[in-house]
Amino acid sequence: MSTDKRYKDLSLLNNLFESLGDNENMSADDIKKELRDDGIDLDATLQRLMAAATQAAADSKRSVLDLARKERLQQEAKPKRTFDNLINWSKEQLLAQIKSLSLEDNQIAAASYRDLEKLTEDNLRALLEDLELLRQHEITDPKNGK
Amino acid sequence: MIPTNKKYDSATREKLLQVAPEDLKEALLRSLDYAHKKTLFISLLDCRIDSEELVQEAVARAYGVGTGKFDKLTYRNWDQSKYPLLEDFLKSIIKSLIDHILKENTGIVFLPTDSDDTFQSEKLEELIQHSKPSETAEAVLLKAEEAKELIKLLKKLSNDDEEIGMLLLAAEDGYSKAVEQAEATGYEIKKIYNIRKRLKRKLDPLLDKLNRKLCR
């Protein structure tokens, strides 16, 4: 088969598959009807996809903290810690400090720990350090600007 | 352990979190439809792909927490100047996933549908020479044969139905969107969708006979 012929055939298949998937000008109702006609249990499938999206959002928020935690552990491995000033803070002070943070930081903390009150002082200190590192990371990384 | 990647732009997550639930649901519906219809016909090349799994992975990648199970990638940043709508962003991820799975499993490399001529000629050699190193010559030949058979069938359908022929000519010329195909053929957009439906009905009996292996 000549190069040109094969290229044309692949182009035909590629655009045909893309074209069969194209639904840009279709109404949501028409799309639903066609999917149901193809035997898809649409309500159940969409429910699973919405749940997967919710889970991905929660995992994503959690991953932000995981990244910050990695950085904290690297900081801790260094001879001098950045957050020595938190060592003498009481649990109440640590909790108050977390609650005084921005709404976004609080959402991230809440996404990771259902009940902050149940965390130990050490865990609260670590969480606060993670959030602080995260904030520093966002300030220094221009890609994270909103 | 949730995968993390420093290259993931947190602005993408913020944009996604701002999408209203009903808009998210509609984007998921349209992405599912795209993945379902596209993979349905790709199964004619002996490669069945689970469309729901594709959408789930696309959403996870958009949030920067993909499993990487298809091609080791776990995130995709959202360039809203290129993909203003969430559904377009998700479809672009799904398209990349399908192209990758197809390349890995059938040796077929598809070029981007919106690529320019320079890019196409540069990639042509890669397209012709590509084959999976682990695959036997027989397996490669068999897949090429299946693609050829499908092309033959499409040509036959073109001869039997002039309007399907026009649609396929438009596809061969690089048009995949209904608006573009309507312009290329001179048909109304509604008619394009009807021709697609007719084509789908003619290909459907083939799909029913197949029990394709799941490609990953």
Structure tokens at B74: 């776990």
Structure tokens at A111: 């996404």
Mutate to test the interface with A, among B7, B48, B63, B190 (most CBs of A within 10 A): B63
- Per the CB < 8 A criterion, the answer to whether B125 and B24 are in contact is no
What pLDDT shows up at residue B22?
96
If one compares B146 and A141, the residue with the highest pLDDT of the two is B146
- Per the CB < 8 A criterion, the answer to whether B143 and B45 are in contact is yes
Neighbours of A90 (CB within 10 A): 10
- Cβ distance of A18 and B38 shorter than 8 Å: yes
**Cβ contacts of residue B70 below 8 Å, gap of 6+?**
B57, B97, B100, B101, B216
Among chain B residues, the shortest Cα distance to A69 is held by B4
Average pLDDT, chain B: 82
If one compares B30 and B115, the residue with the highest pLDDT of the two is B30
Give the three-state DSSP class for B135.
coil
pLDDT band of residue B153 (cuts 50, 70, 90) is: confident
Q: What is the pLDDT of residues A20-78, one digit of tens each?
A: 999 998 999 999 999 999 899 999 999 999 999 999 999 999 888 887 888 888 877 76
Mutate to test the interface with A, among B2, B163, B181 (most CBs of A within 10 A): B2
Neighbours of B188 (CB within 10 A): 11
Residue ranges of domains in chain B:
1-106, 136-207
Q: Across the strands, what pairs with B214?
A: B48
Q: Across the strands, what pairs with B48?
A: B214
- Per the CB < 8 A criterion, the answer to whether B6 and B53 are in contact is no
Within 47-106 of B, beta carbons closer than 8 Å to A belong to 52, 55-56, 59-60, 62-65, 91, 95
- Per the CB < 8 A criterion, the answer to whether A64 and B10 are in contact is yes
Q: Tell me what ipTM this predicted complex has.
A: 0.81
- Cβ distance of A23 and B41 shorter than 8 Å: no
Q: Concatenated DSSP letters for chain A?
A: --HHHHHHHHHHHHHHHHHHH--TTS-HHHHHHHHHHTT--HHHHHHHHHHHHHHHHHHHHHHHHHHHHHHHHHHHHSSS-TTGGGTT--HHHHHHHHHTS-HHHHHHHHHH-S-GGGS-HHHHHHHHHHHHHHHHHHHH-GGG--
Phi–psi pair at B214, nearest 5 degrees: -80, 125
> Average of pLDDT values for B27-40?
95
- Closest by Cα among A100, A146, A27 to B17: A146
Span of B7-16, B68-77, B86-95, B203-212 with lowest mean pLDDT? B203-212
Looking at this protein, which amino acid is placed at residue B52? Answer: E
B10, B127, B175: residue with CB nearest A7 = B127
Using a CB–CB cutoff of 8 Å, tell me whether A73 touches chain B.
no
What pLDDT shows up at residue B186?
96
pLDDT band of residue B190 (cuts 50, 70, 90) is: very high
If one compares B206 and A103, the residue with the highest pLDDT of the two is B206
- Closest by Cα among A104, A121, A120 to A65: A104
B26, B37, B168: residue with CB nearest A28 = B26
Whether residue B106 is predicted with pLDDT greater than 60 in this model: the reply is: yes
Using a CB–CB cutoff of 8 Å, tell me whether B213 touches chain A.
no
> Average of pLDDT values for B172-198?
94
> Average of pLDDT values for B1-8?
66
What pLDDT shows up at residue B113?
47
**Helix B162-172 and helix B189-209, axial crossing angle in degrees, nearest 10:** 90
What pLDDT shows up at residue B69?
85
Cβ-based contacts under 8 A for chains A and B:
179
Residue bearing tokens 């090429």: B144
Structure tokens at B63: 């949030």
- Per the CB < 8 A criterion, the answer to whether A23 and B30 are in contact is yes
What pLDDT shows up at residue B116?
42
Give chain B's length: 216
If one compares A108 and A17, the residue with the highest pLDDT of the two is A17
B33, B150, B179: residue with CB nearest A31 = B33
B64, B111, B200: residue with CB nearest A60 = B64
Using a CB–CB cutoff of 8 Å, tell me whether A140 touches chain B.
no
What pLDDT shows up at residue B71?
84
B40, B56, B176: residue with CB nearest A18 = B176
> Average of pLDDT values for B132-159?
70
- Closest by Cα among B126, B51, B128 to B91: B51
Q: What is the pLDDT of residues A68-122, one digit of tens each?
A: 888 888 877 765 555 667 778 888 888 888 878 766 666 776 666 667 788 888 8
- Closest by Cα among B61, B44, B152 to B102: B44
CA-based angle B140:B143:B144, to the nearest 5?
85
Burial of A65 (0-12, 13-18, 19+ CB in 10 A): buried
Q: Concatenated DSSP letters for B23-77?
A: HHHHHHHHHHHHHHHHHHHHGGGS-B--HHHHHHHHHHHHTT----TTTS-----
> Average of pLDDT values for A124-134?
81
